[in-house]
Structure 1
Amino acid sequence: MPETGKPRPDILSPIKWPLRLTLWGMAAERITRAFWPLWSLLIAALGLLMLGVQDMVAVEWVWVSTVALLGAVGWAAWRGVRMLRWPRRSEAVARLDGTMRGNPIQAALDDQAIGSADTGSQAVWQAHQARMRKRLAEARAVEPDLRVAKADPFALRYVALLAFAVALVFGSFLRVSSVTAMGPSGSDLASGPAWEGWMEPPGYTRLPSVYLNDITAPGIDVPEGAQITLRMYGEVGALSVDESVSGRSLTPETAQETAQDFAVAHSGRLAIDGPGGRAWEISVTADAPPSVAREGEIESSYEGDAQIPFTARDDYGVVGGTARITLALDEVDRSYLLATEPEPRDAIEVPLPMPIAGDRAEFTETLVENFSEHPWANLPVKLELNVTDEAGQAGASDIETITLPGRRFFDPLAAAIIEQRRALLWTRDNVPEIARILRAISYLPDDVFRSAVPYLRLRGVLRDLESSGAQMTGEQQDVLAKAMWDLALILEEGDLASALERLQRAQERLSEAMKNGASEQEIAELMQEMREATDDYLRQLSRQAQQNAEDNPEMSQSQDMMEMSQNDLQRMMDRIQELMEQGRMAEAQEALEQLQQLMENMQVTQGQQGQSPGEQAMEGLGDTLREQQGLSDEAFRQFQDQFNPGPQGQQGQQGQQPGQPQQGQGGDGQQQGQQGQQEGQSQQGQGGQQSLEESLADRQQQLRSELNRQRQGLPGAGTEPGEAARDALRRAEEAMDGAEEALRDDDLAGAIDQQSQAMEALREGMRSLGEAMAQQQQQNQGQQGQQQGGNPGQQRDPLGRNAGANGQIGTDENMVQDEDVYRRARELLDEIRRRSGEGERPEEELEYLERLLERF
C-alpha cells in the first residue's frame, strides 16, 4: 500500500482494535518463526531431565550433553534475535485491507484525482467513499499464521513437545534437581540390609500398583485379593516379616525368608522388623457384588422386537449377564384353549448386552430380542435379570411380571391363525379343537382369502393336523407351528412382488392399526412401510410412463389435469402421521382414504423430451442471470435518479418505456418489471420511490427462491465441477438475499454491489456446470466404447468409482475425505432416491439404483 502520510483519526477509528489485533498477531508470527528452535531445545531438555535420563547414564555423558545443549541454546537465541523484525503499523494496515472487498482502507484514504469540479462526479465519489467507510465497520482482525512447517520439515518441534508430554505423564519435576548432585557419594553405597515391597491390586480393579517403600502413612487401603510382594537384601535374618492379613501361620524361619508373596484376605497389620523397617495397618476394601434393575418402559416394534432397558452397577465393572423368562401361569387368562394345563417348557435365557467400549461400572443398555414365535409371546411372564463381575460374584434384579412382547397381527384371519398356533404350542391336546376352528373360519374361502396360495397352505395345515391328531410328536408340532406362522405372515403382508398390491396392503394395515388402537411405535413403523411402498409404486409408474412414451411418442399428456410432485405426497403422509400422533384418528382415516384415491388415479408425466437435465438447468440458469441483470439495471437507474433527479434522470427513464420488458426477461419477470415501472411513474415523491424499491425487493426475493429451486435439482452431483457449481450458486443465493435486504433498507448502492456479486457467482456456476456436463458426456462416451471392447480397468460404476484391472468395481480411495461421514452418507442416499425416481434414466441404471436402495 502506498504511503499516504498520517491518516485522519476519524477514518481509521472504526478499525482501531482490528488493526491493533492484526499488528499483535503479526508480531506473534515473527516471534514464533524466529525463536521456535530455542523453545524446542528448552522443553526437550526439561522433558529429558524430568524423565531422569541423567540418572541412567554416566556423569561424563551428562556434562558433554550440557555443553552441547548450552551451545545449541546460544545459537538458537542468536538466530532468533537476528531474524526478528518487528512489524510496522503500515504493514498491519496493508494486511487488514487485503482481507476486505475492494480495499476499503486504501479507498477511504484516497483523494479524488480528477472530476472534483463536476457535481455528478463528486457525488459518485462521495457515495463511493461512504460505502467504503461503511465497509470499514465490517473489518475483522486477521488471524496470525503461526505455522513453521517450511522451516521445520522434520517436525523436530513436535518431537520436543512429545518428550515433554511423556515427561509430564511418567516423570516428575523433582527429578530435575538430581542433575545438581551428579557423581558418586557415600549415600549411594550400600549400608546394611535393605528391603523392597509392592502391593498389586487384582487386574479387574484397574488400580495402579503401589511401591511400599514410598508409603510413609501408618495405614493403607487395599482392595480385596491384592497381592503383596516383599524382597529383603543383605544378611539373612537381619530383616523379618510380621503380618496378619493373609491368614497363613508364620514360623520364625518363614518370617525371615528373603522373598515372600501372599494375598490380602482381610484387614490386619503388616510390618518389616529390623534396621530401616516399617509397619502399616492394612484396611481391606471389600468387593461389593454387582446389581441390576430394569429401567424405563418395555417397548416393542411392529416386527415384534422387544426392547427391555436395564441398568447395571458394580464397583469395578460388570462382565456379563442373562435375562431369565418363565411363564407366569397364575397371571394367564385361562380361557378357551388355554384352560388346559400347558406342556412343560424350559425357561427362556438370553444374554444381556454389554457396552462395547467405556466403563462398565455403571451403564444403561437395552436388551433387544424377538420372542414373537415363542409360545409365551403376548402372555404374562416373570422376568429376572442376572449379572456377574470378574470376581465371580452375582447379582439379580427383582422378579417382575410383564407381558412378553411379540408381533401383533392386524389382519383378522392372520390373527386367528396365530391364536390357534399358540393353542397348538400350549398343548397338543388342543389339536382336535384347533382343526375345527380353522375349518370354521375358512368355510367360505372366497370371502376371506385374496388368492388361492394361502388357502391351499391352510388346507395343507388342516390335513396334517387331522392326520396327526393329539398323538403328534414334538417334531411334528414344531413343523406345524412354523407352517402356521409362515401362513399368517403371508396373510398379513400380502404379495410384495407387485408394488401396487404392496401399497394397498400397507394402507390397509395402517387403517386396521388405527382402528385397533395400535401403539405409536407400531403406527410409525407402518407409516414408514407405506412411505417405502409409495416410493416403489411411483418408480413403477415412472417406468410405465417411460415405456408408454417410447411406444407411442405421438401421444401427449392431457393438459386438463392436476399435477402433484413427490414432495406433495410426502406432505400428505406427514399430515396423516401428525393427525395420528395427535390422536385425531377419524381425520387421519379420512386423509388416508383421500391419499388412496389419489394413488389409484395417479399417472407419472415425463420431462421435456429431447433435452437432458443438464441442458434444462443451463437454460434455467441463463434466464435467471438475465433477470438478475435486468433487476440490477433498474436499481442502478434508481440510484442515478437519487443524485440527479433533474431532466437528465428523466431522460434516463425515457430510455425504456414503462411497458417495455428487460431484454432476456420472460413470463413473470416481464410482468413484474412492467408493474414495478408503472408504479414508479404513477406515484410522486418519497412514497412512490419506496413503493418501487419494495417492488424491486419482492422481485429479488422471487428470483432468489427460483434459484434455490434450481440449485436443489442441479445435475452433476458427486463430481468436482458439479459441487463447484452448487457452491457458486449457493454464494449467488446469499448475495441475492443481501441485495433484497439492501433494497428493503433503501440502500441502492449496497444492493447494486450485492447484485453484481450474484451475477458473477451465477456465471461461475454456469461455467462449472458446463464442465460437469462435458465430463459426464466424456464418461458416457467412454462407457459406450468400453462396451464395444475397451479396457475394463477404465470403467466407472454409477457412483463414479474406477474399476480394477479385471473389471471388478472397487476402490481404496477415501470417498468422503474431510467431510462429515454421516452427513455425506445421508446426502448420497437422498441422491440415489432422487435418481431412482427419474423415469427417463436407462433401465440398467434404474435397476442398479434399486439394488442400492434395497441394500442400504
Structure 2
Amino acid sequence: MVAERLTRAFWPLWAVLLFAAAGVLLNVPSMLPLEAFWAAALAVCAALGWTAWRGLRAFRWPSPDDAAARLDATLAGRPLTALADRQAIGAGDAASEMVWKAHMRRMILRLSEARPVRPDLRLSRFDRYGLRYVALTLFVIGALFGSFLRMDGGTGSLTGGSGAAVAAGPSWEGWVQPPAYTGQPSLYLNDLPPGPLDVAAGSHVELRLYGEVGALTVAESVSGRTGEVESAAAPSQGFDIVQAGRLEIMGPGGAAWDIVLTPDSPPSIAPDGTLSRTASGEMTQPYTASDDFGVTSATATIRLDLDAVARVHGLVAEPDPREPITVQLPLPITGDRAEFTEALVEDFSKHPFAGLPVTVLFEAQDAAGQIGQSVPLELAALPGRRFFDPLAKAIIEQRRDLLWARENGLRVARLMRAVSFRPEDMFRVEADYLRTRFIARQLEAAGPQGPAESSRAEIAEAMWELALRIEEGDLSDAMERLRRAQDRLSEAMRDGASNEEIAELMQELREAMADVMRQMAEQMQNQDGPPQDLADMQELSGQDLEDMLQQLQDLMEQGRMDEAQALLDQLAQMMQNMQMAQGGQQGQQSPGEQALQGLQETLRNQQDLSDDSFQGMQGQGQQGQQGQQGQGQQGQGQQGQQGQGQGQGEGFAQGQGQGQGLGEGQGEGQSLSDSLADRQNALRNELDRQRDGLPGLGQGAEDARRSLDEAGRAMDNAEQALRNDDLAGAMDSQAEAMDRLRDGIQSLGEELAQNQQQQGQGQQGQAAGQAGQNGQQDPLGRDAGGQGRLGTRDNMLQNEDVYRRARDLLEELRRRSGDQTRPEEELDYLRRLLDRF
C-alpha cells in the first residue's frame, strides 16, 4: 500500500524529473538562447515544486486498520469484519447461538484462504495522456545518445566534442553544405587544408566551437550579413555563402580558407529547327535548353507583332487589348535536364492571334531563380487550322475581325449577310444558312459599339462551329465524305500545303475511300444476284487503291502537282464509275431502310417549311430587315435586304414566287402564321408515327429515338412560335429540329450499316471463294484475265515512273525466287520470269 500511494502521489514529480534529465542529457540548454534557458529553468523548478507539494499533500502512510480492510476486501464475505461482530439478536437462544457459531466457523475457514495482496501500480486512470511514458522515452534516448558532461555550454552537436575534448583543450568542427540542386556532397572543413576553396553560391556553413567560450572565434566576409549578428565566439554558428571572401577560425588549432564562388550561369534556351503544322492546326516548334545544374521550368510567351500586321479590311480598326499567350513548355520527365531538346506542341486555331504575325519568346529558369531568354522568334502567322472551303474561309476571316475589335461587329454582320445573299449557290445545308443569318442578327442587335465581351465570345464560338460544319460537310454519307476529302486535297495542292498537311489529308482520303468500299461491299452483299456479280463489280483491288494513293502522296511531296491532280481526277472518276455501276441493283428495302427513307422525307418537308417561314418573315418585314421583329424600321440596308429576299426566293424556294410558296395549304380566312403552324403540327404528328415505328435494332436505334424526341420538342417550340406570329423564333427552332433529325438519321443509318455488315460477312466469304474458282490465278496471286479484271495491273502505270517500278518488280522476283520455303511450282514460275526478263 505504501508503494501504491507513493506512485499515485508522486508520478507527476518523477515525470518532470525525467523530462528535465532528458533535456540535460540531450544538451537542450546549450541550444537555447539565454533568456529561453532561464525561462525553461524557472518553469522546471516551478513544476518540481508544485508536483512535490501535490504529492506530499496526497500521500498518507497506511495504518494497520487500512491494511486489514484491504486484505478483508479481497476475501469473500469480509471474514475479518465478521469475526469482530457480536450476536445482536437471539442471544441466549440455543438454536440461534448454534447458527451464529456455525457462521463464525465458516469465516475462520475463509481466513485460511487469505494471501498477501499485490500492489496495484497502474496509473492509466490518473495519467490519461501517457506523459510518464513520453518522459521515460526521452530519458532513455538521452541516456543512450547524450551525456551529463556536455553541460559545459560548448556544444550542440551529438557527433563531436566530449569531456575528453574539454580536457584536451579548445577544438572545432565545420561543414559546408552546397545547395541541394547542385547535387554536390558536403565538405568537412576539418579534412580540408587551408587555402583556396571553391564552393557554389548559396552554400550553408555550419560551425561548432568546443571548449571554453572565447578560446576560439570565427571571422568571415562571405555571408554579407549586416546589422545585429551573433557573437564571433558563439559555440554554434551558421550562415550562407553569398559572395567570395575569407573564412577563418582564430585561436588554438584554427584554420583559414579563401572562398571562391563556383560560377552558376543562367540557363540558355533557343528554338531548334523549323516550325511544322498539321491541317487540323496543331503546331510543333522544337527547342533546346541547357543549364549548369538543370532547368527547372520553361515557358513560351506569344505576343502579337502589331507592326507586322497588314492593316487592311477588318484589321484597320485599333485592336482590343489582348494579353499575350503564355504556355508551359514540356521538360524531360526522367534523365538529366542539364541539356535537352523538347518541342512546343499546341493548337491555337481558336485564339484571336491565329493567322496573325506574332513573336515567340522562350524563357528557362534554373533552381537558383536565374532566367534565360531566347531571341524572339518571329512568325509571319501563328499557325491554326486551315480551311479549304471558300465559304468556311470567309467566315473564319470575319471571326478574326470580330475578335480583333468589337467595333467591327456591324461590318462583320454586313459581310455575313453578303456571303449568304444567294444561299442556293453557297450553302449545301439550309441549317448552315439559317445559322449565318442568326449570327448576323445578333451582331446587328449589338449596335455600333459591338457586342459585349461575353456575347462576343459566344458569337465567335458559333462562327467557329459554323465554319467547321461547312468545311467538313455532312459526313454521314461515305461518298460525300470522299468527295469532301478530294476537294480538300485539291485545295491543299493549290495552296502549297506542307508535307505534314499532305500526309494528314491523305490519311483522311484513305479512310473515306475505305468507307466507300465497305459501303459498296455491304450493299452488293444484300443483292439477290449470283455471287459472281461481286467480282464483276470490282474495278480495283485493295492493293491497287493503296498503290495509287501512295503514288499520289509521292507526287505531291515531290512538288509534281499537275501530275498529282491528274491522278486524283482519275481516282475520283474511277470511284464515280464504281458507284454508277452499282446503281439500280438494290433489292427490296428492309423495315429499317424504309424507316430511314421516311425520316429523310420528313427532313425535306421540314426544310421546305423552314423556307416558307423565312419567306413569310420577309413578307412581314416590308423594309427587308430580317429577324429583328419590333426593330425593323432601320433605314440602313433596306435595298440590300430586298435583294436578299429575291435571292432567297430564287434559292431554297426553287424558283417559286413568294406568294405562291406561301399560299399552299393556307385556308380561306386563315393567317399565314396559323397555316405554317398547322403544317408544323402535321409534321410533328408524322414524326411521332415514324419514331414509334422504328425497328428495335440496337443502340443506334435508341440513339435515333432520343434524337427524334429532341426534334419533336423543337417542332413543338416552332409551332408555338408560329402561332404567336414569331417567325424568327420559329426559324431557330426549326433549324434545331433539322439538326436533331439529321442526328437521328445518322444514328439509324450507322446501325443499319453495322447490321448489314455482320449479316453479310459469311456471304462475302462465299462470294470471294466462287470468284477465285471462276478466275484462274497465277502463283503471284493475279487473275489470269486481262482488260482491267480483279488483281491485274493493266492501265495502272500511266502516271508512274515505269522504270523505277520495273526495278522494284525485278528485285521482288529475285527475292521470292531465293526463298526455298515457297512451293516448287511458284519457284519454277519465278525462274522462268527471271530468264525471260
TM-score normalised to structure 2 length: 0.49
TM-score normalised to structure 1 length: 0.48
